[in-house]
Amino acid sequence: MKKIRSVVVVGGGTAGWITAGRIAALQKKRLGKSQNATDKAVQVLLVESANKPPIGVGEGTWPTMRNTLRQLDIRESDFIKHCDATFKQGAKFSGWVTGKQDDYYYHPLVLPQDFSQVDIAPYWLWQKQQQQTESFSKAVCFQEYLCEQNQAPKNIRTPEYAGIANYAYHLNSEKFSRFLQQHCMEHLDVKHLVGDVTGVQSQPNGDIESLVISGQEAPLAGDLFIDCTGFSSILLGKHFNVPLTSCEDVLFADTALATRVNYDSSDAPIATHTNATAQNAGWIWDIGLQTRRGIGYVYSSKHSSEEAALAELLRYTGGQVNEADVRKIPINSGYRQTFWKNNCVAVGLSAGFIEPLEASALVLVELSASMIAEQFPATRELMDIVAKRFNDTFSYRWQRIVDFLKLHYVLTKRQDTAFWKDNQDMTSVPESLQELLQLWRYHSPRDYDFTSNNEVFPAASWQYVLFGMGFEADYSHTYNPDSYSSNMANQAMMKNKGMVDRCVAQLPKHRELIDKIHQYGLQSI
Amino acid sequence: MQKLVALHAQEHKHFKIKTEAVESVGSHERMIPVVMSEFIKLSVQYPIVFTKNIETGQFVLVALMGFEERENLFWKNDEWDAIYVPLNVTRQPFFIGADAQTKQHLICIDIASPCISMEEGESIYQQDGSESEYMNTIRNRLSELFRGEQEAAGFIDILGKLDLLVPLSLDISFANESHHQVQGVYTIDEEKLQALDKATIGELHAAQYLRPIYTMINSLSHIYGLIQRKNQRLENA
Ligand SMILES: Cc1cc2nc3c(=O)[nH]c(=O)nc-3n(C[C@H](O)[C@H](O)[C@H](O)COP(=O)(O)OP(=O)(O)OC[C@H]3O[C@@H](n4cnc5c(N)ncnc54)[C@H](O)[C@@H]3O)c2cc1C
C-alpha cells in the first residue's frame, strides 16, 4: 500500500496557504515532537508563480475564520496587526427590497435570542400583523445596534478569539496571504518554491506523477496535489478537464469593478459590518479595514454596460476615486463538477466561484482545507474513498450556497430595472429553493428543514434574510399567541432589549479597540 | 472624582492627613492592586491573584477583597479588619505623577480626597517647611509601589510567555444558597508549572520568581476565609 507522504500545493493565494497550513498544523499536532515524528510526517510544499500574483480581493469572512486561525496556531493580535484586519458583525443590505431610501435590513452574526430554546419568528410575525413592530433583526438580536454605532464585538479584556458578540473579520487579502506564508514557513515547516507549473507528468492510472516547473531541472513529484491556482485552475480545470457547473442562469452577476477609498482621517470610525447596497444591475460591497475601505460593484453585464456600472460605482464613492483606480475582474460563475479527481483536489477559486455576496468563498476554502486535513488519506487506496466523500459534501455545499444567495434576490419587490425583475422570474430559481420557500410559507426556517449536517448557513441566517426581505408568510394555523412558546418568545424579546442596553453601554468603539490591540495586544486567556 | 495636583511645599503647607480616614478609601474595592514586596504580609489573609486592567487588558496583581462589585469583606464596622492593609490604600491620598514637560516623576496629592484636613491629622510639612516623618513614610511607600509595578511587569511577562496563567474558575455557594461565579480573576497553573523542565525552573529560581509564584498559589486558600466573611455578612444583614 502506497503511503501518502508528500503534498504539493500549487498556488500561493489565501486558498493555498490556508490549505497547506491546516494540513501541516494538524500533522504537527498529531505527531508531536517525538523522535520518529519526522519519519512519519507528511511533507507539505507550496509552489507558486512569481508572474501571477494572487487575486488580491476577498476581504469579508465568516466566524469560522476564528477557528481556522486558531488551528493554525496564530495569535489573533498578530493577525489583526499585520493584516489590516477589523471585526465584522454581519452585513447590512440596503435597497434590496424596494430600493427606497429607508429600505435596509441586517444579517447579523449573533443568533436570534434563545434560538436553541424558542423560535421567535412566528411570534414576531403575529405581532407584525397586529401592529407596527420593529424589524425582525432588531426584535430578536442586539447586534444591529452595535453595527449602527460602530461598536466592537468585544473589549480589550476579552481573550483572543472570544467575543461578547459573535464576529468574523474584514481583512486585506494581499497582506493576509503574505502573513500566512510567513507563519506557515516559520512555524509549520511548509516548504516554499517559486516557479510556474508548465506541465504535468501522469502515471498510467491517470494520477499526477509530477509537475514540470519553470527554472527547475527535475520535475516535482508528490503523492497528493492540491490545485489552488485561482481562476486558471491549471490542474483540475486544464489538466483533468473537469468542467464548470455554471450558475449564471441563477445568479446573474458576472463582473466585478473593484476599488478602494482612504479614510478622511486616521481616527475615522470603522464600520463593523459589510455594507451591501443594491444598484441597478447588482450591488456594491463596502468593507471597512483599518487604513482604507474596499469597495466594489458586482453586476450582470447582461443588464448593464461597463460605462453605466462604472458611473454607478463612482457615484457611490462620492468622487473619491477615478477610473484609473478601478480594477475589472470577470467572474465565471460556477463550480466544478467534481473537486477531487485521482490524486488532485482543488481548493479556492480553482474549485469555483460565485459572486461574493455573503462572503462564502473563504468559508469554503476553510471547510475544504479542514476536511482534507482531518480526513487526510493515509494511503492511495483510501484516497478514492475520501475523494468521493469530499465531492459529495462540497457539491451539496455549493448548491446550498447558490440557494442562499438567490434568496437575497428572489424576494425583492423592485420593478425598476430588468435585473431585479429578471431575478423574480421563477425559472431562474433552483427547485430546491422553491421547495424551501413553499415550506416556509407555513413554518419558519429551522434546522430540520435541511437534510444534511453539512449546512454552510444555519437556519438563523435564512430567517434573517427571509424576514429581512419581507417574506410574506402565515403561521396562524399552527400558532397561538397565548401559548407557552409565545410566552417564551416574548421573554426572549425582552431579554434581547436588555442585551441591547448592556452591550451598547459597555462595548468600546471599533476603532478604539483596534488601536488598543495595536498598543497592548489581546491576552490569549 | 479624583483631582490630582503636584505636591507643593508652599501651597500644601497646612494640609494634614486624617490617617483613620485613609483606610476608608478602599472600603468599596473588590480588588486592590498590590506589589510583590508586600506578598509575605498579604499572604497572611488575602488571596493574591491576577486581573486585567480595564483600559489596557494587561494583567495586574491584585489582592481579592470580595465577590460582588464594590464589595470589600475586610471592611467591617467602619474599619479595616485585617492585620495588614495594602500599600495602595495606606499611601492615599498621594500618587506618583509625571511632570508634563520634563517627564520627571513627582508626588501628587488628590485634593478632592476626604482624608485631607486643615485641623487634625498628620502634617505633611513641618514648621520649618521640611517634610514630616509621616511624609517620609509615604515617600517610601510610593517608591515601593513604583518599583513594584516594574517588577510585576517582568514577572507577568515571563508567566505569560511560559503560558502559566489560567482563569480561576470558581463556583461558590454561600450560606443563603445564593451562587456566585468568580470571573475576571486569573492565577498560576500549577500543573503546567510542575511540568516545566529543569532549566526553566532554574531560570525562574534565579529571577527570584519561584517564591512569589508559590505564595500566590497558596494564598488561594484564603478564598475560604473570604467566603466565611461573606456568610457572616449575609447572616448579619
Ligand atoms: C470580486 C471578488 C470579490 C471577492 N470577495 C470575497 C469576499 O468578500 N469573501 C470571500 O471569502 N471571498 C471573496 N472572494 C474570493 C476570494 O478572493 C478567494 O476565494 C480567495 O482570495 C482565494 O483565492 P485563491 O487563493 O483561490 O486564488 P488566487 O488568489 O488567485 O491565487 C492563485 C495562486 O496560484 C498561483 N498560480 C496560478 N497559476 C500558476 C501556475 N501555472 N504555476 C504556479 N502557480 C500558479 C498564483 O501565483 C497565485 O499564487 C472574492 C473574489 C472576487 C473575484
User: What is the pLDDT at residue A412?
Assistant: 97
Contact call for B52 and A157, based on CB within 8 A: yes
The answer on pLDDT for B226 being more than 80 is yes
Contact call for B52 and A523, based on CB within 8 A: yes
The Å distance, Cα B122 to ligand 1 centre, comes to 73
User: What is the pLDDT at residue A147?
Assistant: 98
Contact call for B58 and A519, based on CB within 8 A: no
For chain A, which residues make up each domain, given as ranges? 6-59+172-247+333-399, 112-161+410-506, 255-330
The answer on pLDDT for A477 being more than 90 is no
Reported confidence tier of residue A62, pLDDT bands at 50, 70, 90: very high
User: What is the pLDDT at residue A492?
Assistant: 96
ipTM: 0.87
The answer on pLDDT for A34 being more than 90 is no
pLDDT tens for residues A225-260? 999 999 999 999 999 999 999 999 999 999 999 999
pLDDT tens for residues A283-313? 999 999 999 999 999 999 999 999 999 999 9
Do residues B34 and B61 lie in contact, with contact meaning Cβ atoms separated by under 8 Å? yes
For A210-224, A476-490, B125-139, which range has the lowest pLDDT when averaged over its residues?
Answer: A476-490
pLDDT tens for residues A91-117? 999 999 999 999 999 999 999 999 999
- Assess B183–A contact: CB distance below 8 Å, yes or no: no
Q: Whose CA is nearest to atom 7 of ligand 1?
A: A58
User: What is the pLDDT at residue A100?
Assistant: 96
Q: Which residue has the higher pLDDT, B2 or A403?
A: A403
Indicate the average pLDDT of chain A.
95
Q: What is the mean pLDDT of residues A144-152?
A: 98
The Å distance, Cα A370 to ligand 1 centre, comes to 18
Q: Read off φ and ψ for residue B22, nearest 5 degrees.
A: -55, -45
The answer on pLDDT for A481 being more than 90 is no
Determine the residue of chain B that is closest to A519 in CA distance.
B56
Percent of chain A with pLDDT over 70: 99
Which residues lie below 8 Å from residue B79, measured CB to CB, with a gap of 6+?
B20, B23
Do residues A152 and A158 lie in contact, with contact meaning Cβ atoms separated by under 8 Å? no
| CA–CA min distance B96, chain A (Å) | 22
Burial grade of B83 (CB within 10 A; 0-12, 13-18, 19 or more): exposed
The answer on pLDDT for A1 being more than 80 is no
The Å distance, Cα A252 to ligand 1 centre, comes to 20
Contact call for B57 and A157, based on CB within 8 A: yes
Q: What is the reported pTM?
A: 0.94
Reported confidence tier of residue A480, pLDDT bands at 50, 70, 90: confident
- Assess B157–A contact: CB distance below 8 Å, yes or no: no
Q: Which of B57, B165, B166 sits opposite A520 (nearest CB)?
A: B57
Reported confidence tier of residue A35, pLDDT bands at 50, 70, 90: low
Best CA proximity match to B217, nearest among B181, B196, B197, B191: B191
| CA–CA min distance A182, chain B (Å) | 21
> To test the ligand 1 pocket, which listed residue (A8, A45, A57) has its Cβ within 8 A of the most ligand atoms?
A57
Q: Which residues of A touch B167 (CB under 8 A)?
A: 525
Please report, for residues A467, B60, B209, the alpha-carbon distance to residue B63 in angstroms, rounded to integers and kept in the order given: 51, 10, 18
What is the length of chain A?
A: 525
Indicate the average pLDDT of chain B.
94
Reported confidence tier of residue A51, pLDDT bands at 50, 70, 90: very high
User: What is the pLDDT at residue A288?
Assistant: 98
User: What is the pLDDT at residue B170?
Assistant: 86
User: What is the pLDDT at residue A322?
Assistant: 87
Q: What is the mean pLDDT of residues B187-191?
A: 96
Please report, for residues B126, B134, B164, the alpha-carbon distance to residue B130 in angstroms, rounded to integers and kept in the order given: 5, 11, 47
Which amino acid is present at A267?
A: D
Reported confidence tier of residue A479, pLDDT bands at 50, 70, 90: confident
User: What is the pLDDT at residue A454?
Assistant: 82
- CATH of segment(s) A6-59+172-247+333-399: 3.50.50.60
pLDDT tens for residues A357-387? 999 999 999 999 999 999 999 999 999 999 9
CB atoms within 10 A of CB A362: 26
How far is residue A419's CA from residue A250's CA, in Å, rounded to a whole number? 12
User: What is the pLDDT at residue A129?
Assistant: 87
The answer on pLDDT for A476 being more than 90 is no
SS3 track for A504-518:
HHHCCEHHHHHHHHH
- Assess A155–B contact: CB distance below 8 Å, yes or no: yes
The answer on pLDDT for B35 being more than 90 is yes
